[in-house]
């Protein structure tokens, strides 16, 4: 059987010939036995036999403590502090039924309590130790997703814009007030008529050299700042993104220097009234995240000092001269947005946290709930049904895969903040865009699957799937619409593809393209395309090669299509004609990165039992993904029919094996009951129904 060591080798041609001979003999014996023993009219016997055969394989013994230690890493303690603070403060726990206004006030009290009472001050970690900051955000989001987003607005967006786009004078003036919550603020980028296209923003900031001030204006209703977190009720400042206009002496009158960021006070520090020229309205009740006070801002000739321009990438002197170390509007714009990728990193990481909660509740309930069974025998748990395993086990495997991939993203982001290496900046920008898009889309779908997998009890608000689904849904849109972000990944891949054929160097994350493109451009190996042995299919080299081959095939084919269509449709038209192909390419690449990081995590795990469990889960993740896109592999004969069938059978068997350790795997997330807060998902199974009935008044 499978040995769970950390060294893998490819089968030799001799191994292949032996395996093939054995496979042929086995198939012939099976055919003969079918002739001699026709299939019973009662398929229950063959199913029972299959279950007995599966049950005969040894279950992996998982040391949950070691697994959890490996998963949660060095920031476990700060997360425990968050959990313990809220567990000790029932008055700060979000009730099931709460109005929009009450939820907003509670959310603000939760944040103030965490910062001022619990002494957890996340702001300094935004730049100094991003991994610790994101660990805090994940824990806070587990308590209430609205609180996680409100904290992100305060520290990642409003605070992050001051730290990343401002200079020393801004940090000296605002750091302490942002840190201790005296300066609650907003991040005013999105407009009613513009979201993803930030360069198309219409709000203007015109420099007045006579008074040494900028004048902020909303030129039309389409330019009203919209969906601005913290604006409707609590914000006192806003980082406003606007086109910087400088007066000129020619006929144009003004020169557009591109989108810049400005600190604009929006409410009086004492009275909390809106300041002159600023109109603030409430965006109202939302599908979810109603603890966050999203508002709309309109500016009428609002004057701010010249020093309120966040001038790290471009400044204006007293006499109205513009200076920048970057030569063009596009370069400055790219640098500005590049400094704001932390929001995407945080959302990808937090989305995995949401998925952990949902899959934990669904798996625990599926182990608890019993339904039907063989005649005159006890009912079996619903997780013993193959259909339930098919819904939840690949999802559990994906949760682990995403955990390691987003942890890697956080490491790369932290490295980028220290080094400011240009190559790394591009790498992190693309990786954060891809992972944010892929993970949040997957989590959104999985939340509905988990609800369905828990039947009617999954529909009860107390069991959390409804609020998790509604609160998380917007993760697919804010900090970059997922479809737009995947196009950025595809564009970067095409850029790397061009580099490869022009002899340029590829950045580390993209090195695999050189080898896999060469493999793709040659014909699939007719020998390896037929190998179907379990050892081969569970070999990470085979799995990763398959993922990367698919990406290279998609990249090569879309490059050819774009070149062809651009001759008649132009660049934009060709891109639109190939858009679905480009999105598939981006997703394929991100899946390759996720698998590569999972394989690395398996190999790096120091504990043997945890490593064996992770290897099993990684194999399920890889083979389930290959099977889900089996048509692509069959179309180019990368996999022969017998191999495709073997992959399907093995992925079903691996789902069964993962089911056997599902309890230990979700326990490895180490989410206490006061964090999951779902009676049907309680750790102690025998208490689940008693807790649940208490909510109904029994």
**Among residues 208, 227, 213, which one has the least CA distance to residue 289?**
227
Collapsing DSSP to helix, strand or coil, 260 comes out as strand
Annotated binding site for FAD: 190, 229
Q: Are 587 and 607 in contact (CB under 8 A)?
A: no
Q: Is 84 a catalytic residue?
A: no
- Dist CA 173 CA 250 (whole Å): 37
Name the catalytic one among 191, 339, 479, 652: 479
Tokens of 431: 């990786």
Q: Are 324 and 109 in contact (CB under 8 A)?
A: no
Q: Which residue has the tokens 């889309």?
A: 441
Residue 424's φ and ψ, nearest 5 degrees, are -65, -35
Residue-wise DSSP of 385-404: SHHHHHHHHHHHHHHHHHHH
Measure the N-to-C terminal CA separation of the chain; round to a whole number of Å.
50
- Dist CA 683 CA 360 (whole Å): 9
Cβ neighbors of 435 (< 8 A, separation 6 or more) are 348, 402, 405, 406, 409, 590, 593, 594
- Let me know how many helices (H) and strands (E) the chain has, helices first: 26, 11
Q: Is 469 exposed, middle or buried (0-12, 13-18, 19+ CB in 10 A)?
A: buried
Going by the DSSP 8-state scheme, the letter that residue 60 receives in this structure is: P
Rg, the chain, Cα only: 28
Q: Which residue has the tokens 């049950």?
A: 55
Determine how many CB atoms are found less than 10 A away from the CB of residue 693: 11
Q: Are 363 and 369 in contact (CB under 8 A)?
A: no
Residue 158's φ and ψ, nearest 5 degrees, are -65, -55
Phi-psi region of 183 (alpha: psi -120 to 50; beta: other; left: phi over 0): beta
Annotated binding site: 190, 229
What separation in angstroms does the CA of 272 have from each of 233, 275, 291, 302?
9, 9, 19, 17
Count of residues for the chain?
A: 698
What separation in angstroms does the CA of 342 have from each of 115, 125, 532?
21, 12, 43
Tokens of 554: 């998609």
Query: Which amino acids are annotated catalytic?
Result: 479
């Amino acid at each position: 059987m499978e040995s769970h060591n950390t060294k893998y080798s490819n089968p030799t041609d001799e191994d292949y010939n032996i395996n093939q001979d054995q496979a042929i003999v086995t198939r012939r014996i099976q055919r003969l036995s079918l002739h001699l023993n026709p299939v019973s009219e009662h398929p229950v016997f063959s199913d029972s036999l299959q279950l007995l055969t599966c049950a005969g394989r040894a279950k992996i013994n998982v040391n949950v403590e070691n697994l959890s230690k490996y998963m949660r890493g060095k920031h476990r303690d700060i997360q425990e502090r968050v959990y313990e603070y809220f567990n000790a403060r029932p008055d700060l726990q979000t009730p099931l039924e709460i109005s929009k206004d009450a939820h907003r006030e509670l959310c603000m009290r939760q944040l103030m309590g965490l910062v001022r009472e619990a002494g957890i001050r996340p702001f300094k970690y935004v730049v100094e130790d991003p991994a610790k900051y994101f660990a805090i955000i994940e824990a806070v989001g587990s308590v209430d997703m609205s609180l996680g987003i409100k904290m992100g607005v305060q520290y990642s967006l409003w605070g992050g814009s001051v730290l990343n786009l401002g200079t020393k004078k801004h940090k000296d003036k605002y750091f302490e007030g942002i840190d201790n919550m005296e300066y609650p603020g907003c991040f005013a980028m999105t407009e009613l008529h513009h979201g993803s296209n930030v360069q198309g923003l219409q709000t203007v900031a015109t420099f007045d050299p006579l008074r040494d001030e900028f004048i902020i204006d909303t030129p039309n209703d389409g330019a009203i700042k919209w969906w601005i977190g913290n604006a409707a009720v609590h914000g006192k400042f806003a980082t406003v993104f606007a086109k910087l206009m400088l007066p000129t002496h020619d006929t144009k009158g003004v020169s557009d220097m591109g989108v810049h960021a400005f600190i604009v006070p929006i409410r009086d520090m004492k009275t909390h009234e809106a300041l002159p020229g600023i109109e603030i309205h409430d965006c109202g009740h939302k599908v979810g995240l109603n603890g966050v006070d999203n508002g709309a801002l309109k500016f009428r000739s609002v004057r701010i000092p010249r020093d309120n321009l966040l001038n790290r990438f471009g400044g204006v002197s007293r006499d109205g001269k513009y200076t920048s170390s970057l030569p063009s509007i596009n370069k400055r714009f790219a640098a500005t947005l590049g400094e704001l990728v932390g929001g995407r990193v945080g959302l990808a990481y937090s989305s995995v946290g949401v998925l952990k909660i949902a899959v934990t509740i669904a798996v625990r309930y599926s182990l608890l709930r019993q339904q039907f069974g063989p005649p005159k025998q006890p009912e079996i748990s619903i997780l013993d049904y193959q259909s339930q395993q098919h819904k939840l086990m690949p999802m559990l495997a994906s949760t682990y895969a995403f955990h390691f991939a987003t942890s890697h993203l956080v490491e790369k982001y932290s490295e980028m903040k220290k080094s400011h290496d240009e190559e790394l900046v591009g790498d992190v920008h693309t990786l954060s865009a891809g992972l944010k898009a892929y993970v949040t889309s997957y989590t959104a779908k999985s939340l509905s699957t988990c609800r369905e997998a828990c039947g009617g009890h999954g529909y009860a608000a107390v069991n959390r799937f409804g609020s998790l689904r509604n609160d998380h849904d917007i993760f697919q849109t804010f900090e970059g619409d997922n479809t737009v972000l995947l196009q950025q990944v595809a564009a970067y891949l095409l850029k790397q593809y061009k580099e490869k054929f022009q002899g340029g160097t590829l950045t580390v994350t993209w090195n695999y393209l050189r080898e896999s493109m060469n493999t793709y451009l040659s014909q699939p190996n007719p020998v390896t395309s037929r190998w179907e042995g379990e050892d081969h299919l569970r070999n990470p080299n085979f799995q990763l090669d398959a993922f990367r081959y698919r990406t290279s095939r998609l990249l090569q084919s879309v490059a050819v299509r774009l070149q062809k269509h651009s001759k008649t449709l132009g660049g934009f038209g060709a891109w639109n004609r190939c858009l679905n192909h480009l999105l598939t390419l981006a997703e394929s690449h991100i899946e390759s990165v996720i698998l590569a990081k999972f394989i690395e995590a398996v190999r790096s795990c120091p504990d043997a039992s945890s490593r064996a469990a992770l290897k099993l889960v990684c194999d399920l993740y890889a083979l389930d993904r290959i099977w889900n896109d089996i048509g692509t592999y069959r179309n180019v004969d990368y996999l022969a029919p017998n191999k495709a069938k073997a992959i399907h059978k093995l992925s079903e068997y691996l789902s069964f094996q993962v089911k056997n350790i599902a309890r230990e795997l979700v326990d490895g997330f180490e989410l206490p009951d006061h964090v999951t807060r779902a009676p049907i998902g309680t750790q102690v199974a025998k208490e689940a129904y008693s807790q649940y009935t208490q909510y109904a008044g029994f």
